[in-house]
Amino acid sequence: MADEKSTLLSFLHAQRAVVLAILDGLGEAALTTAVLPSGWTPLGMVEHLGYAERHWFQEIVTGSADPVSWPDDDHEPLRTPRSPEVVFAFYRDQCRRSDEIFAATPLSAPPKLRHSSPLADEIADLRGVVLHMIEETARHAGHLDVARELIDGRTGLGPR
């Protein structure tokens, strides 16, 4: 039987894989076009997920994060001026860093920093952080699934 830590990590890995699988095969035009009235783009959502990984595992768990190579405020929320190659590399790198932090930190370790309310009181340890990231990634995978259906009609995409 797998231990709790490896089980949590496998659920997070599965949700990350779903995000990438849903977007697999889309060209730059589809990745950078908003298909819902709220105006976010699939590529912007991936960048957002990269920032979420960075925020929760680096900033909250360890107390610091390396700066990104672009200004944080150079685009509207959930949109990005960066290319798919840059955004997907950013996302994968943030996931890799998150995995390193997760591997080196006990589940019961309290975070070094607190997230702003309302989650501040709910996240008391690494366990809470990883559960939140599983939820966050799954929620946005659902958004991306809807966007993909609107883009080209494909549904049920995910790792096989």
Confidence of residue 122 (pLDDT cuts 50, 70, 90): confident
Residue 12: name the closest of 104, 114, 120, 103 by CA: 103
**Mean pLDDT within 78-90:** 96
pTM value is 0.94
**Mean pLDDT within 77-101:** 96
Q: Which domains does the chain have, with CATH numbers?
A: 4-152 (1.20.120.450)
Is the pLDDT confidence value at 160 over 70?
A: no
What is the average pLDDT score of the chain? Answer: 93
**Mean pLDDT within 46-62:** 96
Task: Express as a percent the part of the chain with pLDDT over 70.
Answer: 96
Q: What is the pLDDT of residue 2?
A: 66
